[in-house]
Amino acid sequence: MAIMIQAVVGNHVGQYYIPTFAGVALSCNEFRWSPRISREDGLIRIVPGLGTRAVDRVADDYPILIAPGKPELKTNVTPDERIRYSPKKIDVINLKNNAFETIEIEDLLREHGSEISGIQHVLSIYKDNLLKNPSSLFNIDFDNDNTVVTFEGLISKTPFLKQIKALLDILQEKMGTPIDIEFAHDGENLYLLQCRSQNYSREYMPTPIPKDIPNDKIIFSANRFISDGYVPDISHIVYVDPYAYSKLSNLSELKSIGKVIGKLNKILPKRQFILMGPGRWGSRGDIKLGVSVTYSEINNTAVLIEIARKVGNYTPDLSFGTHFFQDLVESSICYLPLYPDNGNCIFNEIFLEKTNSILSELLPEYASLSDIVRVIDVPQNTDGMVLRILMNADLGESIAYLTDPSQKTQSPVKMDNCIVQQVNDFWKWRLYMAEKMASQLDPERFGVKGFYIFGSTKNATAKPSSDINIIIHFNGSKEQKEKLQLWLEGWNLTLAEMNYLRTGYRSDGLLDIHFVSDEDIAKKTNYAVKIDAVTDAAKPLRLKTPEHPPK
C-alpha cells in the first residue's frame, strides 16, 4: 500500500486558497441531452473552486455540464434556465481557520472577485434579459453586476476544451479503455490530477436485450436515442394517455394533470414507478405540448418517458428531458423517448389503456381524470409480476417487459467502447455449448484427433458479441473435412441465433474455427502453439466415444 500526497492547485484569494475552477471529465458520455451528442463526445462536470462539488453529486447545487465534442449543444438554453442551473456555492480552503468550507459564490466575488485569476472566463453578466460575456476582468463590477457562472468565456475564448478532449482521446487510446480524469486550473495552467478507467453503477450499464420474450409480456420497445440503463422491479406505471390529453382544451384541465402527477409523485413508492406522458414533460409555454410539471413533481420516478404520437404525417419533437435534464442526471433518473408509430417498435396500448387503474382509489378528488391519467399497479394486475426496463445504447434498443421478480436478467456487460466493471456469465453458456458440440462430434466419421477451446470463453471473459474460439486437430481426408465443415456450419448458425435470442447481439456466426495438422502439432506452427502451451494453453474438450456417448 502507498500513500500519495498531492499539492492543491490554486492561488491565495483573500483568506482562502482555491483553483479558479476544477472538475471531472469522462471520455464516454452516458448522459446525452441531445440526439446530436454521441457517447464519444465525452462529458465534463465543472465548477468554480475546488472540484469536490463536481466529483460528488450534491443535493443543493449544480455543476456545469459540457460535451467537449459538441460544446455548442448546451444542457440549458434560455437565460432563466442557465441561471437556475448555475453553481451558486463554492468549496474553498479557509487558510485562516485551517478548514475546508463551502461558501456562497456571490459573497466570494463581492469580497475578492478581482483577485481570482481568469475569473472573466468563468462568469457571464445578466443584464436586460441577456447573458453577456465580459471581455476582461475590468469589465466586471463585482459589487453591482448580476454575475452568473456559465464558463462561456472558457468555452469560446480559450483552448481549454481542445486540451481536455485531446487528453481524453490520448489517454483512452493508451489505456485501451474509456477513462475519466480529474483536473484543476489556476487561471493560467491546466493540471491533470488523476486518471482511471471509467466505471458505472449497474443502473447505467449496457444490458443485453433478449429476443425470446413473448410479445404479450412486452409493454413497449424503443430504438431511437437510447442510453444505457437497467431498471428492475417497477411496481407502478403512471400513463398519461396522449390522445386523451390532446383533446383537453381548458387551461385549468391541462394544469390539473400536472397537479395529479405531483400528488402521485409523493404517494407512489420512490423509484418503483415510471412516468409515461405525451410530448414534453415540463412544458412551460404551450402546455398542450406536454404535461406542465416542475422537477419536484416528478423527482421520485425511476424513469421519465416521453411519447411522440403521430398526428397525420407529423411526429412532434420531444424535449429529451432538457426542461430539467441536470436534475435527472444528478438524481440518476433515466430518460427514454418512445415513438410508438415507428413500425419496428412495440407499444402495448391494450395493457396501458384497458388494465385496471387505481387513480380513483389513490386520489378520489381527481377521479374525473381517470380516462386521462392511468395508474397501473403492475403486481396486482399480473399475478405478482413486475415491470423491468433494459436499455442498451450499443444496440440502440430498449425494452420494458413483465417478468417474475425472482427471474434474473443477463448481467450488464463490458462493452468495447464503454467499459464497466461487472462479472458476467456469457462464457459459461459458450463453454457449455462447446462441450456439447465436442461430445457429439464423431472423430472416426470426421477424421478428428482433438478438439480445443481458447480465448475469451476459456478465460471467462466473453462478452455477448464474443466468438467461441476453437482449434480442431484434423488428420482426415478431403471428403471428411468437407463433411465436418458442413456439420460445424450448422452449429455455427444455430449458436448465433441462440445468442441473438438471449442477448440481442446479431452475428453471421458464433464459431471461430482453426484447423491444425499433425505437422502443425509437431512443429508448433499455426494455432498448434496454443496446444500444451506453458501459458494460456488451449483447453481440450472430450470428443464422442463409444464409452462416452453424447447426453
Please report the pLDDT score of residue 418 as a whole number: 38
Same domain flag for 166 and 226: no
Q: What digits encode the pLDDT tens for the residues 147-175?
A: 999 999 999 999 999 999 999 999 999 98
Kindly report which listed range (70-79, 429-438, 486-495) carries the lowest average pLDDT score: 70-79
Q: How many residues are recorded in the chain?
A: 551
Structural contact between residues 33 and 66, judged by C-beta atoms closer than 8 angstroms: no
DSSP summary character for residue 66: E
Structural contact between residues 191 and 185, judged by C-beta atoms closer than 8 angstroms: yes
Q: Is residue 418 part of a domain?
A: no
Q: How many C-beta atoms surround the C-beta of residue 325 within 10 A?
A: 22
Q: What digits encode the pLDDT tens for the residues 172-202?
A: 999 888 888 999 999 999 999 999 887 655 5
Same domain flag for 190 and 300: no
Kindly report which listed range (55-59, 302-306, 360-364, 367-371) carries the lowest average pLDDT score: 55-59
Average pLDDT value for residue range 375-403: 92
Three state DSSP letters for 267-279 = HCCCCCEEEEEEE
Same domain flag for 153 and 213: no
Query: Which three three-digit cell numbers place residue 89?
Result: 456555492
Same domain flag for 131 and 179: yes
Kindly report which listed range (289-298, 407-416, 429-438, 471-480) carries the lowest average pLDDT score: 407-416
Please report the pLDDT score of residue 414 as a whole number: 44
Q: What digits encode the pLDDT tens for the residues 140-149?
A: 999 999 999 9
Q: What digits encode the pLDDT tens for the residues 86-108?
A: 999 999 999 999 999 999 999 99
Same domain flag for 115 and 233: no
Please report the pLDDT score of residue 434 as a whole number: 94
| Max CA separation in the chain (angstroms) | 93
- Domain limits for position 160: 11-197
Examine the pLDDT at 403 and tell me if it is beyond 70.
Answer: yes
Same domain flag for 466 and 398: no
Same domain flag for 237 and 368: yes
Same domain flag for 246 and 219: yes
| Distance from C-alpha of 159 to C-alpha of 164, rounded to nearest angstrom | 9
Q: Is residue 5 part of a domain?
A: no
How many whole angstroms from its chain centre is CA 30?
Answer: 4
Same domain flag for 372 and 253: yes
Please report the pLDDT score of residue 450 as a whole number: 95
Point out the domain boundary residue: 163, 197, 231: 197
Which amino acid, one-letter code, is at 187? G
Kindly report which listed range (112-116, 317-321, 409-413) carries the lowest average pLDDT score: 409-413
Same domain flag for 192 and 213: no
| Distance from C-alpha of 425 to C-alpha of 433, rounded to nearest angstrom | 13
Q: How confident is the model at residue 85 (pLDDT cuts 50, 70, 90)?
A: confident
DSSP summary character for residue 289: G
Q: What digits encode the pLDDT tens for the residues 336-349?
A: 889 998 878 999 99
Same domain flag for 228 and 189: no
CATH number, domain containing residue 438:
3.30.460
Same domain flag for 89 and 180: yes
Please report the pLDDT score of residue 519 as a whole number: 92
Examine the pLDDT at 57 and tell me if it is beyond 70.
Answer: no
Domain count, the chain: 3
| Distance from C-alpha of 518 to C-alpha of 541, rounded to nearest angstrom | 18
